[in-house]
Amino acid sequence: MLELTQCDCLLQIQSTKSDLGLKMNKSGLTKSQRQLYDALWKRGVAVNLHYIPVHRQPYYENLGFNERDFPEAEQFHCELISLPMYPMRKFNQQEDVLTVIQQALY
């Protein structure tokens, strides 16, 4: 797990083989997940809000599930932003994304 040096305790970058996510620690941030998402898009970083929890997909909602059923899944969904990742991404492009994240937060 990588951490942004100036933002430690506020953000963590978590990676799997198929996904790279930015997890927000709400206690120290002044921006919401949506505000950070919008700010990154305005600066040219193609982020996405992390996957909607399974129980909120239409099929499961039709079975009677709602957002209060799994509060930890909801919290995780509200704290994570998916970052752009692909095999040909150069190191300087990664550094640019980190710089833009730091600028968007402050």
At 2 the pLDDT is 38
Range of the domain at 46: 5-105
- Provide CB contacts within 8 A for 53, sequence distance 6+: 67, 70, 73, 74, 76, 77
At 88 the pLDDT is 79
- pLDDT of residue 6 exceeding 80, the answer is no
Q: Model pTM? A: 0.69
At 80 the pLDDT is 85
* pLDDT 10s digits, 7-64: 443 455 555 555 677 777 766 677 888 888 999 999 998 888 877 899 999 999 999 9
At 12 the pLDDT is 55
At 55 the pLDDT is 93
Domain count of the fold of the chain? 1
Write the CATH number for 22.
3.90.1150.10
